[in-house]
A and B are shown apart, each in its own frame.
Chain A
Amino acid sequence: MRQIPTGTSLTVGEAWTIAFTYFTVAITVSLVHSTAGTPPWIIVAATLLVNSATATLAYAAVTAAGGSATAGVVAGCLTATRFGVLAAALAPRLWPERWKRTVAAFAAFDPNIALANREQKDVDVRRVYVAMSLWLVLPWWLGASLGAVIGDWISNPKALGMDAMFPALFIAIIRPQLTTNNARLIAILGAGIALALVEVLQGGLPFLVAALPALLALRSRDERRT
């Protein structure tokens, strides 16, 4: 199997950058969990089975602030709602067989969906989604496992600016998509809605509302070039 599907817009540089970013951030996520007292093997299990730092970190934040485990689990599931929406967004371009999409759902993250979504042909969408899911999930699991074992080695991830890596990566993924006025408007509205609602709605829910600007795709007929 080729690591980078040929004939698609995915580049080696993008794949390595995403692998590097997810590997690095995974170490810091494990550090948060080990600081909260979670044993290493449960951190590894959580990484492999939940496959979402958004969810486990929300749980850790709620319980660290004195919330109950139930409140933590509810917060964890709520913050992950965006993965369901992202999965639904890419679903029409993935395999027609439902079971294949159900398997693919396990690796529904932000960057692999965004990069697969930019392909013109459905067959390339599938190839990029599979390749990028592996490029993302494997370093993620590796970094998390490493962090669970040697997490204390990095004393302060924030001092290294690691919390800026995800948003920086997403900016780099978003940038080439802002080719039309409509796309730029959708981008600004998505960000604006999330910022306006973050202090009002429970974690994760602002993202559901922030998906609505995508309806602007219906606005103009001349932007059907894609």
Chain B
Amino acid sequence: MLTWGVVAVLAIGVYGQRALGMALIDPERLGHRSRQVLAMVPLSILCAVTALQTLSTRGELVVDARVAGIIAAAVLSWKRVPMFAVVVVAAAVTSAVRVLS
């Protein structure tokens, strides 16, 4: 259960990290090579988030109906289907697999 105190500490803790990330980087002093590396960080992290949200629950590897939904999402993305259809079909496939199993 969340309390006011917990909300306050989490708010400071989470915003603090976001602000620190923004503050640590000084755009004017950053070299070309550092920029090249930083430009690829979102891709790397987004793939990590996708992998864990597909194949893990609360810190443990799990294979469940989500995998079917995400495989469908990957196939549709490769076929360049609009993003909205990708998200809705992934949810529908996951839901269908849960109903059928």
Which residues of A approach B to under 8 Å, CB–CB? 13-14, 16-18, 20-21, 33, 36-38, 42-43, 45-46, 49-52, 55-56, 59-61, 63, 69, 72-73, 76-77, 80-94, 96, 98, 101-102, 104-106, 108, 110, 113-114, 117, 158-175, 177, 182-183, 186-195, 198-199, 202-203, 206-207, 210-218, 224, 226
Contacts and interface: CB of A to CB of B under 8 A. Distances in A.
Given A13-B82, A83-B17, A172-B86, A216 B40 contact: yes
B18 A224 contact: no
User: 4 tightest A-B contacts by CB?
Assistant: A87-B21, A168-B90, A161-B94, A210-B48
B44 A108 contact: no
Contacts of A192: 51
Given A159-B98, A167-B73, A194-B52, 12 more contacts: A37-B1, A38-B1, A50-B11, A91-B22, A114-B46, A159-B99, A161-B69, A170-B49, A182-B40, A206-B52, A214-B41, A217-B39
Given A199-B61, A224-B36, A88 B21 contact: yes
Contacts of A92: 25, 27, 30, 34-35, 38
A92 B11 CA distance: 25
Given A164-B91, A194-B52, A214 B40 contact: yes
Contacts of A110: 42, 45-46, 49
Given A167-B73, A214-B43, A174 B50 contact: yes
22 contacts: A20-B87, A33-B1, A33-B2, A61-B58, A69-B6, A73-B9, A87-B20, A91-B24, A91-B27, A92-B25, A92-B35, A93-B27, A105-B15, A108-B21, A113-B42, A164-B73, A172-B87, A183-B43, A194-B48, A195-B61, A213-B40, A218-B37
B92 to A, nearest CB: 6
B10 to A, nearest CB: 5
A109 to B, nearest CB: 9
Q: Is the interface of A mostly helix, strand, loop or mixed?
A: helix
The interface size bin for chain B is 35 or more
A176 to B, nearest CB: 8
Contact of A69 (B3, B42, B49, B53): B3
A177 to B, nearest CB: 5
Contacts of B77: 171-172, 174-175
Contacts of B27: 91-94, 96
Nearest to B8: A49
A22 to B, nearest CB: 11
B33 A171 contact: no
B40 A46 contact: no
Interface in B48-82: 48-56, 58-61, 65-66, 69-70, 73-74, 76-78, 82
B43 A45 contact: no
B10 A50 contact: yes
Contact of B90 (A16, A36, A164): A164
